Structure formats: C-alpha cells, structure tokens
Structure 1
C-alpha cells in the first residue's frame, strides 16, 4: 500500500532557482510537502531542522555536488538518512552513493519523478 503524497515530506535540492521553483510547484501540486534548498550546505541545514521521507537532489551544484552533499548528509543523519532521487543532465555514473535508489536523467516527465519518489518511499517502509 502506497503512502498518500500528502504524507510524504520531500527535501528538494537544486542550485538553479527556476528549476527549484518548478520542482516545488510540480511536486506541491501532486500533494507532496516540499522544502527546498539551493545548495548542499542549505540541504544540510534543512535536514538538521526537520525529517524528510525522500530527498530529490541535483547532481551538478556548487559548492558541493550532489554526491558530496549526500555523503555529508549520510554522515550526519546516519540511520535517519532518507532515500535519494538524483536528477542530472548527465548519464548515470558507474558508482553512486549507496542510498541513491533512483537516478533520473534530464529531461524527464514530472510523472516519472513522482513515480520515482513514490517507489523509493515505498521501498523504505
């Protein structure tokens, strides 16, 4: 049984303001509770203040890329680390951090992102 979208709290991380706004709007319209962050350090600060069911993370960011951000989040959150859906304009690399259970290559359809979020959230339960 799937959790309703309204029961899922997402941390969405992207350093491009327009993409972040689009993801916030799109996922919010799907009923997800969305918190946004514009960088790895901002994501770490948000994760210290609240718990999340899924993290949606861009790969190419500064000052930390998505992989470094996940490493730092995992070091801090340990067992409380939620699954991660990576978004990237690049093909999936050979090695990604262990908690990355989905990797979507841009461009993707909003429905693909929603399904990935639901899939990783369901697999965690």
Structure 2
C-alpha cells in the first residue's frame, strides 16, 4: 500500500454512485469515508477532517446546496475542498455552486477518471478554473 493521497468524504444518497466514487478513489490511494446525505456529512466532517468532499446536490434531509453553504460558513470546515457531483447541469445551477464557493462542479453521468483527477488536483492544492 502506497502513501495516502488524502482523505475524501463521499456524500451521495444513491448507494451505487456512492460506492462507485468511493471504490475509484480508494484504488487511487485516497482514504475514503462515505455519508448518505448532507446531515450525515455534517455529522462526520469534523471527525474525518477530509481534504476533499464530493457532494451530491439532490439528497433527502439536507441537500448539497445547503450542506456546501454550511461547510463554507463554518470556520472549522471552510478550507475543505468541495466538489459538487450532480445531475443538475443547468448554467444557473453551476453559477449557484460557484457562488457558494465550491471548488469544482461535475455533472452526472461523470467520467470516473475525470472525478479522480479533480479530487487529486484539489487534494494536492492545484487551482482549478
């Protein structure tokens, strides 16, 4: 086992997608924790202290928009990189995510290789546009 590239918290209410993301990141050398919705994410984030969070938008209990806003406004979590992974591909959705301050925005269906590269870049501190 090589060195860990970073910690990632994968948040998605769809178990298949959650596992797909988790397995791919794990194989790349990331330490992965999963959460089933936004509230689960907020409950785990301080315990896990991930470098990157992949966050679905459409979830029960607490959606990705609200979760991202809470992460950004809390001094303890505002530095964590956030990738929205969502089926919502409209320009206004993307603008809303960027307005909240998310670091990257991927639309479903996504290319696992692209997701891995985005997470890898963010964990390494590479600036994305």
TM (normalized to structure 2)? 0.82
SS at match of 2:106: strand
Runs (5+) with no aligned partner, structure 1: none
Partner of 2:101: 99
Q: Root-mean-square deviation (CA), in Å?
A: 2.0
Could you say what secondary structure the match of 1:35 adopts? strand
Matched-pair contact (CA < 8 Å) for 2:72–2:100:
no
Per the alignment, residue 21 of structure 2 pairs with 23
**1:66/1:73 Cα in 2 relative to 1: closer, same or farther (>3 Å)?**
same
* Aligned counterpart, 1:48: 46
Give the 3 Å change call, closer, same or farther, for CA 77–38 of structure 1 in structure 2. farther
- Structure 1 partner of 2:61: 63
Whether contact under 8 Å (2:106, 2:115) holds in the other structure is: yes
Q: Which runs of 5+ in 2 are unaligned?
A: none
Residues paired across the two proteins, number: 121
Asked if the contact 1:83/1:99 (under 8 Å) is kept, the reply is no
TM value normalised by structure 1: 0.85
Q: Decide which moves more: 73-82 or 5-14.
A: 73-82
